[in-house]
Structure 1
Amino acid sequence: MEFHPRDTVDIYERAKNQPFDHLWYKVHYFQQKSYRESEANKRLKDLQESITPSKRQGDVFDKIRRRRYEALALMGDTSRVMILHGTPSGRMVHGLGAGHVRETSITLHAVYGVPYIPGSSIKGIVQHWALQAFFNGKEDRFKKALDERQQAALVMNDLFGTQTSQGIIQFHDAFVRGNFFLKPDVITVHYGDYYQGNKPATDNMHTVPNGFYTVTDGIFEFILTQLYDIRGCASGLAAEQLLDIAATWLRLALTEFGIGAKTSSGYGFFRELTDVTNAVLNPVKENLKRKEAKKQEALAKKREEEEEKRRQALLEERLNNMSEAERLAYEIEQLSDSQEDQDKSKSVLYEQVIAHAEQGELTPAKALKTYWERIGSWKVKKKARRQYGKVQTIKTYLDDES
């Protein structure tokens, strides 16, 4: 018998009869319709006309995004955070050359199934843009400028780091959000035999179309972070200035160079990037404050309940160690000024007090006297004959002439 965590079992039970909608499997699995070598040219299924995330998958993406926002909001205690929304000007494909049965691929998150641009790619294109913009793409010019302590080179070192030190900006994975689609496109190989090293390239070679998926619609969410505790930047600029520079360079890189595959054909370019940090994180921070307040309230309530349990346990232990007379005296001491308690003290409890007094146990009688003094029922006139008689009886046992 195999055992699994309860939450895993619950998820499986809910999902086992649901349609299979994880994008990773739709793109990377179940692509072949034949495994015969004789049908090699017909072995692949046609690409779907369009792949749209299901509502359930969309709900998963929303939950992931909310958790990410909460993590970023909590990072605000130690780091500066900047969130930029980028709108592609056309189609977008990243990871086209990754291993795939179709020999064309697309970068999808293996767990979440959402298209994304890895942070390493984002950092790479921004660094490439800076090298092109300031040093004409020449590494030797950059190194010379670094030796001469030129500002642009020093800023690049601060942002991206070196072989011996890390950069001060963290480039996070950029996930697509909104109503996006995966739509097919085609790469047509004209000289397949030539590329395989079999024949010289000629115009009579058969073209080989290869299908691949691209991301259309939706927006990409770019995130930059930077620790507050940054000192001694080589450029001499403040850390917050360097974060602004990184965001500016990111905008320029994505609008001028694009990112991903086939940028020379117009893929992967962005129209604009908008800073949405406050609009996104402020509501999240307020919600976290409310959650924390509720959490602290629940903890305080729990502590009170535990303290009350502890007091009750001590009281129970104390009562268990008391004699009957001591327990009766304790009960009288706990009486309030309510009419119900006053009536109880003059009936049931009074009779019990007298019974103990007859046995020589006077502690309950003393407690009852104190209680009646408090509520004004000790010094009564003779005309209140019933209560007057009870007081006189108590006095007799206590040898009290007051």
Structure 2
Amino acid sequence: MALPLYREVREQPPIHDPKKPSGHAGLWFERFYDRYKGDFSNTKQDDNAFRDWLVCFQHLAGAGELLDSAIQRQSQLADNLGGCSAIFRCDWHFVSGMGNDHPLENGFNWHPVWGVPYLPGSGLKGLVRAWVEAWQFDDADGEQKSQKRQRLLDWFGSVDKTPDKETDAQTGKVIFFDAIPLRPVKLVTDIMTPHMGEWYAQGEKIQDISRDADKIPADWHSPNPIYFLSAKEPTFLVSVAPRDAVVAPDLDMEEVMQCVADALEWLGAGAKTAVGYGQFTLDEAATATHQKQQRQQIEATKQQQAQAAALLGLSGVALELLQHSQKAKWQSDKNAFSKQGELEYWLGKLKAEPHPVAVAHLRELFQVHFPGLLDNPKKLEGKKQKPAFSPRQQGLAETLLGIEHSLMSQ
């Protein structure tokens, strides 16, 4: 069946490009299924057609730069609200949304914006609630029963999920964000082979075993291969936060995250958890690295904002130097900062036109990339008392110190 698309896109969709897939895989999966028969006389084709179509999605889904941006914003939002984030790694395959309507009869949850597999916040919330209800508290009576009731009310807004049974329902105090992948996700085609489909579909209609042998649950039936899409070992960012500043003091977000970790590890997320899908483990090393990078990003943003504010009142060589510093990424790139001739040029301009803001900026960068140089350019180290800094570095430091001295003398 021809799709309502340009021929080149129809014949070689960018989402199926084996070298560099691009576009929204979820949009193509949900809206552009093209294995119907031309006359629509039979909307189902053979299993090979289903399999071949799914094979087209066996590549990395998502754009790295967009996911990095989404991860950064979600982490920052959770942190600003007083919450926390952690990294969870799937031990095997993950699949969610198999009950969604689709011609293949097995759907898939795609993030509507990023086009990647994800775990909706509502699903994560339900998973954690199930853990609290059935597993976290061993004692069904006594003090633990009271604690369980209060936790359900505080975190989720109700003790019972049935509205008719609730008299004190409220808004839950915890926000569960969508769990999104840290990086593009590898998609694979999985298969299940149920043997007793007729038993599940028409088992209650059996009147005579001899006449309805095809409906009996037995191992002699032929397997029915069913193909579906899954994500291979995805790594997700999970974020939780208080709903507002009023309830924040009443919540222990570390305890909430611990319940998330327990639920993801012991119960699993998504579909087919009984056969090992969706089992997640907290990656403590990756979480620590992510938190460190987040702090560095926040600090870098603050510095950029401070520099932008400083630029508003500058002119001449000071304005030129700070603009060049931002463009060349001197703050984070030591090689760019210490490039031969680069500092000599700017120090020469500052020597002719000294400016305290520009000089202070260079001092800060010297301290970042050449610690101790400005304090003692002639420093010696080691048993042989060799110079700690190169002749060029010593000369640059002495030039900058000379400019600072001239400013102090004015």
Q: Is the 8 A contact 1:49 1:184 kept in 2?
A: no
Secondary structure of the equivalent of 2:14?
Answer: coil
Q: Does 1:286 align with 2:299?
A: yes
CA–CA distance in structure 1, aligned partners of residues 119 and 308 of structure 2: 36
Quote how far apart the aligned CAs of 1:282 are: 0.5
Quote how far apart the aligned CAs of 1:33 are: 5.1
Quote how far apart the aligned CAs of 1:159 are: 1.6
Q: Is the 8 A contact 2:87 2:283 kept in 1?
A: yes
Q: Deviations over 1:94-149 (max 9, x none)?
A: 1111111101122111232111000011011111011112467x9xx6xx879x97
Match of 2:366 in 1: none
Match of 2:91 in 1: 89
Match of 2:128 in 1: 126
Equivalences for residues 245-394 of structure 1 within 5 A? 245-274=255-284, 275-276=287-288, 278-300=291-313
Match of 1:226 among 214, 238, 242: 242
Q: Is the 8 A contact 2:75 2:85 kept in 1?
A: no
Q: Does 1:48 align with 2:55?
A: yes
Match of 2:35 in 1: 32
CA–CA distance in structure 2, aligned partners of residues 74 and 107 of structure 1: 24
Match of 1:307 in 2: none
Q: Is the 8 A contact 1:70 1:285 kept in 2?
A: no
Do the aligned partners of residues 30 and 226 (structure 1) sit closer, same or farther apart at CA in structure 2, a change above 3 Å counting?
Answer: same
CA–CA distance in structure 2, aligned partners of residues 48 and 239 of structure 1: 49
Quote how far apart the aligned CAs of 1:286 are: 1.3
Secondary structure of the equivalent of 1:207?
Answer: coil
Q: Which residue identity is paired with 2:304?
A: K
Q: Does 1:239 align with 2:250?
A: yes
Q: Which residue identity is paired with 2:102?
A: H
Q: Is the 8 A contact 1:33 1:45 kept in 2?
A: no
What is the TM-score of this pair, normalised by structure 1? 0.58
Match of 1:184 in 2: 189
CA–CA distance in structure 2, aligned partners of residues 85 and 71 of structure 1: 13
Do the aligned partners of residues 121 and 38 (structure 1) sit closer, same or farther apart at CA in structure 2, a change above 3 Å counting?
Answer: closer
Quote how far apart the aligned CAs of 1:40 are: 3.6
Quote how far apart the aligned CAs of 1:45 are: 3.6
Secondary structure of the equivalent of 2:193?
Answer: strand
Q: Deviations over 1:164-185 (max 9, x none)?
A: 3222211100012235311011
Secondary structure of the equivalent of 1:229?
Answer: coil
CA–CA distance in structure 1, aligned partners of residues 58 and 265 of structure 2: 27
Q: Is the 8 A contact 2:261 2:281 kept in 1?
A: no
Q: Which residue identity is paired with 2:268?
A: G
Where structure 2 has 5 or more consecutive residues not aligned to the other structure, the ranges are: 1-8, 16-21, 159-165, 207-214, 316-410
Match of 1:159 among 151, 155, 176: 155
Q: Is the 8 A contact 1:80 1:227 kept in 2?
A: no
CA–CA distance in structure 2, aligned partners of residues 157 and 258 of structure 1: 23
CA–CA distance in structure 1, aligned partners of residues 79 and 90 of structure 2: 28
Q: Is the 8 A contact 2:82 2:242 kept in 1?
A: yes
Do the aligned partners of residues 63 and 293 (structure 1) sit closer, same or farther apart at CA in structure 2, a change above 3 Å counting?
Answer: farther
Do the aligned partners of residues 45 and 292 (structure 1) sit closer, same or farther apart at CA in structure 2, a change above 3 Å counting?
Answer: same
Q: Which residue identity is paired with 1:293?
A: A
Quote how far apart the aligned CAs of 1:38 are: 5.8
Q: Is the 8 A contact 2:67 2:183 kept in 1?
A: no
Do the aligned partners of residues 30 and 228 (structure 1) sit closer, same or farther apart at CA in structure 2, a change above 3 Å counting?
Answer: closer
What is the TM-score of this pair, normalised by structure 2? 0.57
Q: Kindly, what percent of the aligned residue pairs are identical?
A: 21
Q: Is the 8 A contact 1:119 1:171 kept in 2?
A: yes
Secondary structure of the equivalent of 1:189?
Answer: coil
Q: Deviations over 1:190-247 (max 9, x none)?
A: 333344438642246543211001110331110111256235x9xxxx535x211111
Q: Is the 8 A contact 2:91 2:233 kept in 1?
A: no
Quote how far apart the aligned CAs of 1:154 are: 1.2
Q: Is the 8 A contact 2:157 2:170 kept in 1?
A: yes
Secondary structure of the equivalent of 2:55?
Answer: coil
Secondary structure of the equivalent of 2:76?
Answer: helix
Do the aligned partners of residues 272 and 109 (structure 1) sit closer, same or farther apart at CA in structure 2, a change above 3 Å counting?
Answer: same
Do the aligned partners of residues 153 and 39 (structure 1) sit closer, same or farther apart at CA in structure 2, a change above 3 Å counting?
Answer: closer
Query: 4+ residue runs of structure 1 moved beyond 6 angstroms?
Result: 15-18
Q: Which residue identity is paired with 2:90?
A: P
Q: Which residue identity is paired with 1:292?
A: Q
Bigger CA radius of gyration: 1
Q: Is the 8 A contact 2:193 2:223 kept in 1?
A: yes
Quote how far apart the aligned CAs of 1:251 are: 0.8
CA–CA distance in structure 1, aligned partners of residues 145 and 132 of structure 2: 16
Q: Which residue identity is paired with 1:87?
A: R
Residue-pair matches, total: 271
Q: Which residue identity is paired with 1:222?
A: V
Secondary structure of the equivalent of 2:122?
Answer: helix
Match of 1:58 in 2: 63
Q: Is the 8 A contact 1:73 1:284 kept in 2?
A: no
